[in-house]
Structure 1
Amino acid sequence: MEKILQDFRERIQAASRYKTALCIQGGASKSWYGQHGVGELLDTRAYSGIVAYEPTELVITARCGTQLAEIEAALGEHHQMLAFEPPHFTQHATLGGMLASGLSGPRRATVGAVRDFVLGASLMDGRGELLHFGGQVMKNVAGYDVSRLLAGSMGSLGLITDMSIKVLPKPFAETTLVFALSEADALSRLNQWGGQALPISASAWHVGRLMLRLSGAEAAIHSAKKSLGGEEVRDAASYWNSLREQTHEFFLQGEEHGLWRLSLPSSAAPLQLTGKSLIEWGGAQRWLFTDESPQRIRDAARLAGGHATLFRAGDKSLGVFAPLAPAVAKIHHNLKAAFDPARIFNPRRMYPEL
């Protein structure tokens, strides 16, 4: 593996010397996310494998090119999981892509996002130097924030070479309830339930049906079912997987207008936007297919206290991510200058000016 790291280092140093852009990519499962990638391909898949896994410590350390399927298979043998349910989208998804994209699945609202589970990471910067941040236990907080910063950075700060991730035991039991509710009533119920001690692990509303997943001890689930009502759905695992992997029928409709992801306060009222929607994360994540203008979509999200991202397809020349406030943009520029002074890593993948 040292030779592979040395090859990475030489490629990066040469690219910095000649100001040649590099497009960092693993399994290409999320190559469509963000702005269009540019530059020479830097394939991470050769640098793979689980470095350390101690089930009793609830920590796994692996290299960036390791397939997510391999990670989850190893965890599954010990009845453990990546609690934030990262989407794969294809069988080739890698651990590095998981961290760089920062995407989480249905359980994110109750357990936290990718960044909340990153204990440590190593990064090869634009000078070819291998930097180490954080560690392998929660108590080791040296550089911890930098490790978390890499989640969702889209490879713009450097080549993430390996990382340590906190894992959790799988729940003892799970069940799913369904309720016939309007969008407004579903949001009201979700916010009401959110303030109660209920074992809710995921929620989703679409075309008048609210799906609610309960996870935990059998006694807790039984008590919650009596309190909540609703109708129990048998064998619902495939439903939640279809949301995680976006194979649900909602995500398979035409994308001529693009799929928007709106991040809002969970208590925000239904937005007055036309189109078809699906709501997750207790109301905090709202998917939307619409022919409304990007400006109107972003204005509506901003007025509701959130922001909008053009998640998939659509006209990316209008900007994928919400525009940055001047102070935040300055932080992004300073980070880019510190880690990638020659600006070779995934240029413009997040924002045109980066």
Structure 2
Amino acid sequence: MMINKIGTNLKDIETPELIIDLDILDANVNTVSKAYSDSHLKMRAHTKNLKSPYLARKQVEAGGSNGGVCTAKVSEAEVMVEGGFDNILIANQVVSDDKIERLCSLAKFADMKVGIDNIDNLNNLSKFAIKHNVILGVLVEINTSMFRCGVRSSDHAVELAKRAVDLEGISFKGVMSHQSIKGYTTEEERWKIGEEYLDICLESKRAIEEAGMDVEIVSTGETFTFDIVLKYPEITEVQGGTYALMDLNYPYMPFDIAVKVLSTIVDIDDDKITIDAGNKCIAAPNNATPLIEGVKSDLVEMGLDYSIHKILDNKKYTIGDKVYLLTTHEDGLMNRWDKFVGIRKEIIEGSWDILGRGCHH
């Protein structure tokens, strides 16, 4: 049931509600589209963030895209194939037999690619690809900064690439990496860190080529390096996710926050306000604090269905006023909700199911 109907004004929306400002979303997407449309590289939208074929389609249709998407899980890939996408990279390792079976089933309907970082997994992918009479594309994942998955040396990357080339049912496509940044003090430092990480990935790419193999795809970069990658002619695609909706972790990037939780003030106690949005509504991992948009505030307490915030400036509220709550982790936020409401100029334009939420497998 849709409580908040098309045409409803923001002031009349029942809360709490997950809101995406479609004008901000379009502006964010267009920033990347303009950067990549005439470039050698293209965006491959990472849908672990968006969790919505509708939102992913908006990114592709804006331009500057290779028409494909990334996912983190096989179940997310299933959602995207059902949503009409036929060019998918699972930017992760798929290792259990049941998940590989499902991956092979998807390969009958879409160009499926997956990350690899060890021989045993690669051999198993080949075994199931032969069984299902499909071809699985593989990209050697290079560890650059995460120390989560990925090979730690160029020699290991070359070894995996050679094995992939020899295996039946496997198509060696290239290399991939994902980087993270915990903040920076200057724009110069952002570029320095970004270049260091990207160079690590390209070092393995060049080693593979020197060993006599073609590298068709170099899939790397993300929101914090979306502009840095443009200086590298060897990079073919960027795994960008956060930029479309954004969160509080990227205040230094040329994107604005499009996804927010609309909440109503239900109590006021001196300089503290209680709102009807709590842990069930908002994602705040690693004790990161969600913020109220437009004012200086401190989180006092976060319950399941409420939160208390201390207002640090002279902003005055009355009970019933609505505020936006901003998150530090927009992909976690999207996973909290079954649907989102899209608005333009404070009027509801539509409501869309978040089909990729809860895709753990």
Question: Do they fold alike, i.e. is TM over 0.5?
Answer: no
Name which one, 1 or 2, has greater alpha-carbon Rg: 2
Q: TM-score, normalised by structure 2?
A: 0.26
Greater relative contact order structure (CA < 8 Å, 6+ sep)? 2
